[in-house]
């Protein structure tokens, strides 16, 4: 029964991967926020500093813990990792969902995906992607089945898209539409808009936030994200709605620069 309930959390990596706008420099509650020179901690060409963030989430009433980690491989190569694991009464079950995306910066500072890997210990839905820039293809292995789809700049895997949106927002260059390819080879468009400004009380203090909303064009899913511009566009809260009903929420609990 416990494993059956955990499988319902497997949507978190597939959908929140579009949403967890990792961005950084969050102060602990009551601490002063220092102004940091972006060049001192940001990766070359990236508007998002190298970091690790921890979130607590509720997915259909199942408590989970999620993490993000952005690391530099060299001046142009970066890895972005995410993981989701049960917590609370289900924390004794040592299974998780994990993703890793390898990316590079081109000569103009744009992010290009190179590869993506997902390991799903909850449901066995493993997938791998390899982006062939020269050939204009994405090679996909999903649960042992191979597929190839067309690719061009501006199409991302679920994890690299997460970083691209954070990068664009921090630079003041947020686009209205983004494209993503999933592990079944479907290329979808996601509409993004700035929906308002709100003050939120969080474990990291009271923050002035901007609320972003976007909807998957193919599915009836609405996502709301609250981010803190004065703290390098850090994600504060995330909510997912299906058919007008709240299906999951996510809140930041820890943050540190690497």
Q: What is the pLDDT of residue 94?
A: 55
Residue 202 sits at the vertex; the CA angle it makes with 167 and 57, to the nearest 5 degrees, is 75
Q: What is the pLDDT of residue 252?
A: 85
Q: What is the pLDDT of residue 150?
A: 97
Helix-then-strand count for the chain, H and E? 4, 15
Whole-angstrom Cα distance, residue 8 to residue 16? 14
Q: What is the pLDDT of residue 156?
A: 96
Q: What is the pLDDT of residue 218?
A: 65
Return the CA Rg of the chain: 18
Sign of CA dihedral 214, 26, 66, 87: negative
Q: What is the pLDDT of residue 6?
A: 37
Q: Please name the residue that has the structure tokens 């929906």.
A: 195
Whole-angstrom Cα distance, residue 241 to residue 229? 24
* Cβ proximity of 137 and 148 under 8 Å: yes
Count Cα neighbours of 67 within 13 Å in the Cβ-side half-sphere. Answer: 15
The series of mean pLDDT values per 10 residues for the chain, 258 residues long, is 40 38 30 34 71 80 83 89 74 68 88 93 83 97 94 93 84 87 91 90 87 76 83 78 84 85
Q: What is the pLDDT of residue 250?
A: 86
pTM: 0.77
Q: What is the pLDDT of residue 102?
A: 97
């Amino acid at each position: 029964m416990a494993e059956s309930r955990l499988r319902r959390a497997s949507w978190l990596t597939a959908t929140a991967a579009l949403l967890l706008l990792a961005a950084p420099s969050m102060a602990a509650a009551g601490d002063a926020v220092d102004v940091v020179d972006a060049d001192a901690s940001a990766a070359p060409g990236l508007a998002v500093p190298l970091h690790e963030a921890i979130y607590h989430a509720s997915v259909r009433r199942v408590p989970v813990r999620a993490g993000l980690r952005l690391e530099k491989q060299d001046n142009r190569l970066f890895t972005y990792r995410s993981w989701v694991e049960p917590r609370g009464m289900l924390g004794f079950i040592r299974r998780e969902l994990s993703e890793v995306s390898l990316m590079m910066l081109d000569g103009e500072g744009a992010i290009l995906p190179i590869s993506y890997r997902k390991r799903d210990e909850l449901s066995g839905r493993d997938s791998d992607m390899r982006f062939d820039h020269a050939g204009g293809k994405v090679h996909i292995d999903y649960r042992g089945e191979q597929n190839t789809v067309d690719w061009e700049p501006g199409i991302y895997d679920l994890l690299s898209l997460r970083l691209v949106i954070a990068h664009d927002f921090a630079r003041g260059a947020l686009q209205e539409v983004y494209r993503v390819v999933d592990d079944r080879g479907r290329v979808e468009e996601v509409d993004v808009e700035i929906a308002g400004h709100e003050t939120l009380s969080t474990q990291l203090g009271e923050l002035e936030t901007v609320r972003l909303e976007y909807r998957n064009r193919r599915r009836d899913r609405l996502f709301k994200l609250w981010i803190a511009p004065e703290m390098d566009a850090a994600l504060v809260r995330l909510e997912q709605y299906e058919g007008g009903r709240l299906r999951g929420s996510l809140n930041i609990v820890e943050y540190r620069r690497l």
